[in-house]
Amino acid sequence: MRRLFIDGTLTEYMIIEGDDARHLLYAMRVKPGQRIVVADKKGIIAETEIIKCETQRVFLHLLHKLSDQKNESDIEIVLVQCLPKGDKMDYIVQKAAELGVNKIIPVMSCNCVVRYDLEKREKRQQKWQKIAEEASKQCGRGSVPQIAAITDLSTCLDMAEGYNACICYENEKHMSLNQYLKNHDGMNYMLFIGPEGGFTLDEAARCKIRGINSISLGNRILRTETAALAAVTIVQYEKGDLGNQAQQK
Ligand code: SAM
- All domains of the chain in start order, with CATH: 3-65 (2.40.240.20), 76-247 (3.40.1280.10)
Class of residue 138 by CB neighbours under 10 A (exposed 0-12, middle 13-18, buried 19+): exposed
DSSP E strands in 153-232: the ranges are 164-168, 188-193, 213-215
- pTM, full prediction: 0.77
Torsion sign, CA atoms 228, 144, 140, 38: positive
Pocket of ligand 1 (CB under 6 A): 168-170, 193-194, 196-199, 216-218, 220-224, 227
Half-sphere exposure (CA, 13 Å, Cβ side) for 185?
0
> Three-class SS of residue 170?
coil
pLDDT at 205 over 60: yes
The answer to whether the beta carbons of residues 55 and 21 sit under 8 Å apart is: no
Higher pLDDT, 239 or 137: 239
> Distance, CA 79 to ligand 1 centroid (Å)?
15
pLDDT tens figures, 175-187: 999 999 999 998 9
- Least Cα distance to 179 among 140, 146, 131, 213 occurs for 213
- Measured between alpha carbons, how far is 204 from 114 in angstroms, rounded to an integer? 20
Higher pLDDT, 136 or 207: 207
Confidence of residue 92 (pLDDT cuts 50, 70, 90): very high
Angle of helix 88-98 relative to helix 118-139, nearest 10 degrees, comes to 40
pLDDT tens figures, 220-244: 999 999 999 999 999 999 999 997 7
- Least Cα distance to 56 among 10, 15, 5, 14 occurs for 15
Buried b (16+ CB within 10 A) or exposed e, 15-31: ebeeebbbbbbeebebe
pLDDT at 6: 80
Buried b (16+ CB within 10 A) or exposed e, 174-183: eeebeebbee
> How crowded is residue 221: how many other Cβ atoms within 10 Å of its Cβ?
11
Q: Select from 82, 92, 167, 168 the residue to mutate for testing ligand 1; criterion: most ligand atoms less than 8 Å from CB.
A: 168
Protein residue with least CA distance to atom 12, ligand 1: 224
pLDDT at 249 over 60: no
- Least Cα distance to 148 among 81, 49, 73, 84 occurs for 81
Average pLDDT, the chain: 91
> Distance, CA 182 to ligand 1 centroid (Å)?
22
pLDDT tens figures, 36-90: 888 776 667 889 999 999 999 999 999 988 765 667 898 999 999 999 999 999 9
> Distance, CA 229 to ligand 1 centroid (Å)?
12
> Distance, CA 206 to ligand 1 centroid (Å)?
17
> Three-class SS of residue 167?
strand
Containing 133, the helix (H) or strand (E) segment is: helix 118-139
pLDDT at 248 over 70: no
